[in-house]
Amino acid sequence: MAKSNTTTLLAATKSAVNKAKYYTTKEKKALALKLLAQLTAEVEALEVVKPQSKNKTTTVKGLSKMTKAQLLEVIKQQQGS
């Protein structure tokens, strides 16, 4: 379902549950249960995605304070790994 339909369904479900909770009738309870079932089905149909791997490069802090020789050493270490 599209996002707007989901938002509409969510708002309608919330409204129906509140009406059934505070002004209980058989019809209001049935509508709330029907909308909750639809919303549950929609949530179960969502696709689970894998988390993206994070970049494993490490940053070297204090580069501005290093000497040229130290910077060259850091570059050699990064190229070697």
Domain ranges of the chain: 3-44
Q: Is the dihedral of CA 55, 58, 63, 68 positive or negative?
A: negative
Residue 24 one-letter amino acid: T
Q: For the segment 18-63, what is each residue's pLDDT rounded down to a tens digit?
A: 999 999 999 999 999 999 999 999 989 988 888 887 766 666 667 6
Is it the case that residue 1 has pLDDT exceeding 90?
no
Task: Please choose, from the candidates 3, 81, 16, the residue with its C-alpha nearest in 3D space to the C-alpha of residue 42.
Answer: 3
